[in-house]
Structure 1
Amino acid sequence: MDILLIEDDAIEVMKLERTLSKLETKHTIVKATNGEEALEILKTGEKLPNIILLDLNMPRMSGIEFLEILRDDDVFKYLPTVILTTSENRADLLKCYKTGVAGYVIKPLKYEDYESKIKKVLEYWDINELVKG
């Protein structure tokens, strides 16, 4: 599976890379540190990701702003996007689902819990017919 990770925190990027390295299936990951960079990556016309993992709290453009731009684009609007955030704000959760996210995952403090959640998300999308190509 091809994953686009939009995350500005280097430690969170390393956690995801570490988790992916432990999985039996191989995933490729493209990283963007903010929404603007991610849009540039998507617009290059190269292979689209199977899934986007998106942080909400980022500089320049919030995750919700990125999501709104994504959903307004005829090519990108169906890309499954899963929010990975520390925000337990119910308003954020509802706004994301209204904007069309595929999932909302709160990053746990313990690495083992983080690893378990990421593994479940990727296992689900790995078998989902939408991302099979």
Structure 2
Amino acid sequence: MSKSLNILLIEDDAIEVMKFNKVLKNLEQVHKIIEANNGEEALSILENKVIIPDIIVLDLNMPKINGIEFLSILKADDVLKYIPAIVLTTSNNHKDLLAFYRIGIAGYMLKPLKYEDYVDKIEKMIQYWSTNELISQ
């Protein structure tokens, strides 16, 4: 049984935010998206712990606090460190990938150039996490 997700999307590119929202809008299941333009804004959203997202989807290269810095802060928090974080980026740098996995991410996805491929990847990611037993607990 799939669950509606609360998704924290951390992305500074307005076009990428629109694409992500468009894909989710076309899904059968309604998911709530909380948007942050950078890691600093995301931390302030998470700080009060009123809304705890089911998953975090974030870009690697962001202003103010980049993806690695954000996740280092997140994983140091005893409550927030268990939120699955999925990196959605254009970087296929192996060093970036290893750095994120050392921090403890749940996934690393490259943004495809073709929109159809992007839709396919996002739909599969959402389908997986909306049926994952970790989220339903």
Normalised to the residue count of structure 1, the TM-score between the two structures is 0.98
Q: Name the structure 1 match of 2:104.
A: 100
Amino acid aligned to 2:99: K
- Tell me which amino acid in the other structure corresponds to 1:104: Y
Q: Which amino acid aligns with 2:112?
A: P
Where structure 2 has 5 or more consecutive residues not aligned to the other structure, the ranges are none
| CA displacement at 1:45 relative to structure 2 | 2.2
Equivalent position SS for 2:57: strand
Matching residue within 97, 121, 136 for 1:132:
136
Q: Which residue of 2 aligns with 1:39?
A: 43
Kindly report which structure 2 residues correspond to 1:25-104, keeping only aligned pairs within 5 A, or say none. 25-104=29-108
Q: Distance in 2 between matches of 1:130 and 1:38?
A: 22
Name the Cα RMSD after superposition: 0.7
2:83 is paired with a residue of what secondary structure?
coil
The equivalent of 1:9 in structure 2 is 13
Who is 1:120 aligned against?
124
With the length of structure 2 as denominator, give the TM-score of the two structures.
0.95
Counterparts of 1:111 and 1:44 in 2: how far apart (Å)? 35
Q: Give the Cα–Cα distance (whole angstroms) in 2 for the partners of residues 24 and 46 of structure 1.
A: 27
> Displacement of 1:44 after TM fit?
2.0
Give runs of ≥4 in structure 1 deviating > 6 Å: none
Q: How much does 1:130 deviate? A: 1.1
Identity, in percent, stands at 59
Structure 1 unmatched runs, 5+: none
Q: After TM superposition, give the deviation of residue 132 of structure 1 in Å.
A: 1.1
* Superposition deviation, residue 3 in structure 1: 0.2
Which residue identity does 1:106 align to in structure 2? L
1:74-108 deviation per Cα after TM superposition (whole angstroms, max 9, x unaligned): 01100000000000000000100110000000000
